Structure 1
Amino acid sequence: MTTQEIATRLAGFCAKGDWEKAQRELYAEDAISIEPEESPAFAKETKGLTAIIEKGKKFDSMVEEVHNISVSEPLIGGNAIAMVLNMDMTMKERGRMNMSELCVYVVKDGKIVSEQFFM
């Protein structure tokens, strides 16, 4: 898949909250995920597809209700993809919140090899 094709598929999965489907289809086995900062819930870096999928499941387990998810049109620059992800959700024990983050992905050999989130 080209970077543009991956970006289009990824945006579609993210708009539906289908994180695991995106990861299983589009990510390399040795992909890395980088959070803005270390938190009690998530490490700064998560390495490997299996660990990234588990991180996604942990995030989903913290969500009580998803009210809305929107994704900007992906921007492509060489082998990089950037898009804004907005999520309106109620988190268990934290209440309703709006989260907006810039998501940046790097593609190599037709697979996502890294994702990094900026808030």
Structure 2
Amino acid sequence: MTTATSTMTTRAIAARLAELCRKGDFETAQKELFAKDAVSIEPYATDDFEKETKGLDKIIEKGEKFQSMVEAMHGGVDISDPVFAENSFALSMTMDITMKQKGRMKMSELCVYEVKDGKIISEQFFM
């Protein structure tokens, strides 16, 4: 198992992120792999989420809020193998979920990450 105790390469970070996300362990991934001042960017602002979230604590809060809105997960989280470009990588993520008051849906997004000094400094989602 890889940990973030030493400076990790972009490829090692991508592999660890994919491993944790496939288990649905998003908070561990964030705490282990993200910089304290990381930025998370959604495709657009909604009633539930702002377009941009700054700082690891706020990103973790956003994840907790999302989890609180999920009524049921149907199967696991499908995460693709990463695709790389220098200090960035992308994964596709698909989830079959039932959201409280919104019903069942299949969510599919492209997740793009930028790495600096062995930590994820930004994530951006495209649907």
Which AA in structure 2 matches 1:53? I
Q: Which runs of 5+ in 1 are unaligned?
A: none
Which AA in structure 2 matches 1:52? I
Count of matched residue positions in the alignment of Structure 1 and Structure 2: 119
| 1:109 alignment partner in structure 2 | 117
| 2:14 alignment partner in structure 1 | 7
1:56 equivalenced with 2:63 (yes/no): yes
Shift of 1:15: 1.1
1:23 pairs with 24, 30, 38, which one? Answer: 30
Shift of 1:17: 1.4
Per-residue Cα deviation, 1:29-52 (whole angstroms, up to 9, x for no partner)? 000000000000000000000000
Shift of 1:12: 0.9
Provide TM-score, normalisation by structure 2. Answer: 0.92
Q: Which runs of 5+ in 2 are unaligned?
A: 1-7
Structure 1 Cα separation of the partners of residues 91 and 31 of structure 2: 20
RMSD of aligned alpha carbons: 0.6
Displaced runs of 4+ in structure 1, greater than 3 A? none
More strand by share: 1
Structure 1 Cα separation of the partners of residues 19 and 42 of structure 2: 22
1:80 pairs with 77, 88, 95, which one? Answer: 88
